[in-house]
Amino acid sequence: MIKEIIIIALLLASGFFFFVGTIGLLRMPDAFSRMHATTKSDTLGAGLAFSALMIYRGFDVVSIKLLIVLIFVWLTTPTAAHIIAKATYNERNGESK
């Protein structure tokens, strides 16, 4: 019973952060603000969702794979956001690289 409550709470929190990120994407005025809102909430939402899935499955091979995917998301989302922000900054300032 407690396990199901924790899973539901994590999934609801995950859905909340994904929703807030979507609202931020639609409401923010420029690319930098939109990127900040979506990457922060996306990383946290994915972390909560994967945590709920790992608790649901218990400790097995699938949970280890979910953890690997979660680490991959934690590493690639901020890196991609940084690259996009740098490209946008360079485009606005007329720099070629």
Asked if the structure places residue 76 within a domain, the reply is yes
Whether residue 38 is predicted with pLDDT greater than 70 in this model: the reply is yes
* Rounded (10°) angle between helices 31-57 and 2-27: 170
Asked if the structure places residue 27 within a domain, the reply is yes
Asked if the structure places residue 13 within a domain, the reply is yes
Whether residue 95 is predicted with pLDDT greater than 80 in this model: the reply is no
- Which of 97 and 81 is assigned the larger pLDDT? 81
CA separation for the pair 87, 97 (Å, rounded)? 8
Whether residue 61 is predicted with pLDDT greater than 70 in this model: the reply is yes
Instruction: Give long-range contacts, CB 8 A cutoff, 24+ apart: 13-16.
Output: 13/48, 14/45, 14/46, 14/48, 14/49, 14/52, 15/45, 16/45
Which residues constitute the domain of residue 53? Answer: 2-92
Domain count, the chain: 1
- Which of 89 and 13 is assigned the larger pLDDT? 13
Asked if the structure places residue 97 within a domain, the reply is no
Asked if the structure places residue 19 within a domain, the reply is yes
